[in-house]
Structure 1
């Protein structure tokens, strides 16, 4: 790995660096392009866990580091800003390279790098939203590399999930008699639709279900403006630009993916975390995939007080569940 930046090391009570810990960040070559990666863990003997963020194009490193750093004591955690996202975004990124196939190649390079760094043959994948599509596709293609798979806001049939999300938004607007929302949602019409319509639909959903309330936004202040050395408020520009660029480049392909037909079985244990109030990947669509999925073992855990991001909405419960449920699957 190379590149500027830094992350705080793990310290003993006496102030020394914890032996066999890892705290590294920088750019590494994945799929022929420099991409930003952060690796943190209190003990290299712990199994590696790679977070695959959503979007596509929406880096979640800030959120995960703020709410879920506890996992670094049980796993060697890998945070990756995917091609075109966050710190990996730059204006010269070739649009033609923004394909699902290319992301699978990038992820394979990352897994190989991580395994070499930590001295392991396999990793745990945690896919969130779009990352859950990428994670399952990779696990299906490279089962020898994946010890266990965790999906949060797991997408099965992407088109069905988007249709259910739009229906939910329209119903919420009708219940509230929200004329502006109804006008906007009816104007874009039901999916399939372009990325610009996704942004509109998601924004109205956030307003209607309270995710843009002052209380909800206040909860995120530490993650966005906190003092962690891996990121700064200046990175928010790339966060926004990368998200819009990647969504525009990839949404047509991503929104047509259907794991129910393409990946009906996995060859490693699978765990799904489901936010009961998730209106972006509605729970019934996740359950539809879970019900048909064949795997050596599978578990589904409900987060009753969570929406699309249980790791933000219920971080303590999320962290404990990952440690207990996923940790048990990859125990030495």
Structure 2
């Protein structure tokens, strides 16, 4: 009998729990696509779940322009969530299902553009579900959006979940540089210095982040297998997330190109979108985190470097409304065990603050 790897065992246990709970056969009362106006632009969203007065959870993916883990392709992918909460999915303007021809995307688009659209989305969902508590659930760059929405609409929001959070992107870049410094070659150090003195934020930040991802566990946790060019072993969730982009009934082949907008040269390196990528350096969420009174849950891998884990645990110690959970043996992209832990924490947090079980 073939022995299951640890990630396979965790996924098998999750599938068994879902089957026993009836979730494997469960069909949401609502599972629909809509076109709404966000920032004055018509965009597609998906809604799935119990509907009615059930709590609503708005999902904000990372990037910018990276609808991975959260995004329109993942409708139907998380029955443990969609059986309890009405989930709202949105691909950021310019990517995935909301991709556009390049010359149709304004050259001055920025992170602030996405924040305004996220606020519009929340207002639209409040109109559609006037009696439902609203939760925000962001991953990576999506945590910038949850916090901007929370600041603008705090009285309308029951709470926010921040998975793989970002806080201050200039600080994050220095965390990455410090983490990979012991492993750098002279050539890499020289290139890093040239980019740092180039006068732009993103080329330097992107290069340092890539090096940290190659040399450390901060992106994919590899443990004993880490090292430059190391393979991602037994990362069942990562492969399932990627496979979902290809097999989702919500995505056509052209949408796959849009899903990669944040990594493709004409999206990330094009001179047309310098404003977008350089605007990342403006992100600083510490002041909001210190002053918002709504419940906030931070879920972070113990090998993360966007924010140092001790910084978030200290925030939670200072702020009674903040809860911090460290995911064991995880980088920025959770592995199977860490994802299962994160899912349990999301459900418990959402049910607690909305009073719905």
Q: Which moved more, 1:148-157 or 1:195-204?
A: 195-204
Once the two structures are overlaid, the 10-residue window that deviates more, 269-278 or 88-97, is: 88-97
Equivalents in 1 of 2:161, 2:261: separation in Å? Answer: 28
CA distance in 1, matches of 2:76, 2:214: 24
Say yes or no: does 1:133 pair with 2:153.
no
Task: Report 1:211-290 matches (<5 A).
Answer: 211=220, 213-215=231-233, 219-226=237-244, 227-232=247-252, 234-242=254-262, 245=267, 248-261=274-287, 264-287=290-313, 289-290=315-316
Counterpart of 1:53 in structure 2 is 61
The answer to whether the Cα contact below 8 Å between 1:64 and 1:311 also exists between their aligned partners in 2 is: no
TM, length-normalised to structure 2: 0.75
Q: Secondary structure at the match of 2:108?
A: helix
SS class of match (1:255): helix
Alpha-carbon deviations, 1:238-284, whole Å to 9, x = none? 12235563774323333233222355211311111111111344324
What secondary structure does 2:137 align onto? strand
1:301 offset after TM fit, Å? 0.8
1:205 aligns with 2:205: no
For residues 170 and 187 of structure 1, do their structure 2 counterparts lie closer, same or farther at Cα, with a shift above 3 Å needed? farther
Q: Cα distance, 1:160 vs. partner?
A: 1.5
Provide the aligned length of Structure 1 versus Structure 2: 311
Answer yes or no: is the 8 Å Cα contact 1:27–1:34 preserved in 2: yes
Superimposed CA distance per residue, residues 65-111 of structure 1 (whole angstroms, 9 cap, x where no aligned partner) = 586442111111111111223222211111224341x3333122211
CA–CA distance in structure 1, aligned partners of residues 332 and 295 of structure 2: 23
Counterparts of 1:220 and 1:41 in 2: how far apart (Å)? 24
In the TM superposition, residue 117 of structure 1 has moved relative to its aligned partner by: 2.5
Give the Cα separation in 2 of the matches to 1:133 and 1:86.
19
Pick the aligned partner of 1:162 from 159, 167, 173.
173
Match of 2:202 in 1: 195
Query: Is 1:93 aligned to residue 105 of structure 2?
Result: yes
The CA distance in 1 between the partners of 2:347 and 2:281, in whole Å, is 31
Unaligned runs of 5+ in 2: 1-21, 221-229
**Is the alpha carbon distance of 1:290 and 1:58 closer, same or farther for their aligned partners in structure 2, counting shifts above 3 Å?**
farther
- Cα gap change, 1:225/1:150 in structure 2, threshold over 3 Å: closer, same or farther? closer
Q: Distance in 2 between matches of 1:17 and 1:170?
A: 49
Q: Indicate whether 1:320 and 2:332 are aligned.
A: no
What is the RMSD of the two structures over their aligned residues, measured on CA atoms? 3.3
Offset, 1:124: 0.4
In the alignment, structure 1 segments of 5+ residues that lack a partner are 1-12
C-alpha distance in 1 between matches for 2:172 and 2:130 = 38
Task: Map 1:21-170; keep pairs closer than 5 Å.
Answer: 21-60=29-68, 61=70, 68-90=78-100, 91=102, 92-100=104-112, 102-120=113-131, 122-170=133-181
Name the SS of the counterpart of 2:282 in structure 1.
Answer: coil
TM-score by length of 1: 0.80
CA–CA separation in structure 2 for the residues paired with 1:191 and 1:328:
48
Q: Is the 8 A contact 2:140 2:163 kept in 1?
A: yes
Q: CA deviation at 1:22?
A: 0.8
SS in 2 for 1:213: coil
Give the conservation status (yes or no) of the 8 Å contact 1:224–1:233: no
1:143–1:73 Cα change, 3 Å:
same
- SS of the residue aligned with 1:57? coil
After TM superposition, the structure 1 stretch with the greater mean CA deviation from structure 2, 183-192 or 42-51, is 183-192
Deviates more, 1:122-131 or 1:226-235: 226-235
Change in Cα spacing, 1:118 to 1:192, as seen in structure 2 (3 Å) is farther
Residue 55 to residue 291, structure 1, CA distance change in 2 (3 Å): farther
